[in-house]
Amino acid sequence: MHYRRAIFLSKRRTQGLKMLKGGVYVFLLFIFLLVVSTYVIFLDKLQIGNIVFRGLENIEEGEIRKNVEALLKERLFFIFPKSNVFLAGGEEIENRLRKTFPRIDFIDINKDFFPPALFLDIKERSLWAIWCRVYSELAEECYYMDEEGIIFGRSPQFSGTLITKIKDFSSTTSSLLSSPLLARELHSIKVFKEGENAFQELRGLQFMFDERNRDSFEIETLEGWRVILDSDADPEESLANLMLSLREQIKEQRIKLDYIDLRLGNKIFYKFRD
């Protein structure tokens, strides 16, 4: 009995030594791989040395390059350089650039590994209109707006009608990369902007949304007369009624026109200036 117990303890001791040796080998292998990978990560030949931007129009390349280079100088876990081509995160770069440059609409990031390089294909938002939050006759804050109704940057004050201007007298606020317009309002503006291109009577259209409610809005023309519309009405039908009234009823008297009210569907009211 004592002999069997001694053999059992001897086997357990041998198995324990084997497990200990195995653990040591695994630990040494881990240390070896860690040292090798750390050496590889810091190799100069694996650091991104070339950044290529394509598609920039209004964004300064120097400014966007500065942002990318600053990110690549950061450290992952406070140790590993993000400039390593295997560690440089395309998603992180894209998120940083979108936040810093709201004008960016689309960005595609690709890497070359040998030699390490980044290629950034950027599509900027196109200027479609200027949206202005109007505080008073002398105070307004304006932003660039794209065709989706998204505002993406502060606009300087300007006069003239080369660019469609949307004046918002409401108390609502809007942040960059969001739309201050309701979907129905944006659709109406698009329809009348297309009408501006199709009909010579409609030039220099400027859109105005009232402070009190969004049930109606006004359009002011280059000639100084206004159109009052129902926000819920079909804009295509409203445009057709407007052109019918201008060409069949008002005709040459358009120069004396004050406003046309289209809020009652086919019942069109208009007033001339005194």
Q: Which residues of the chain have a pLDDT value below 50?
A: 8-9, 32
Provide the pLDDT for residue 171: 73
Domain locations along the chain: 44-124, 129-272
Residue from 200, 137, 125 nearest 167 by CA: 137
CA–CA distance, 188 with 239 (Å, rounded to integer): 9
Give the per-residue pLDDT at 213.
75
Q: What local confidence, expressed as pLDDT, does residue 8 receive?
A: 46
Strand order in the sheet with 206-209: 151-155, 140-145, 129-134, 165-168, 206-209, 216-220, 226-230, 257-264, 267-272
Two tokens at 229?
Answer: 């519309």
Q: What is the pLDDT of residue 57?
A: 93
Cβ proximity of 187 and 233 under 8 Å: no
Task: Determine the CATH number of domain 129-272.
Answer: 3.40.50
Contact 146, 125 (CB under 8 A): yes
User: Can you give the pLDDT at residue 214?
Assistant: 81
CATH match for 44-124 among 3.40.50.970, 3.30.420.40, 3.10.310.10, 3.10.20.310: 3.10.20.310
Looking at residue 33, its pLDDT comes to: 53
Predicted pLDDT at 25: 59
Task: Record the pTM.
Answer: 0.78
- Amino acid at site 166: I
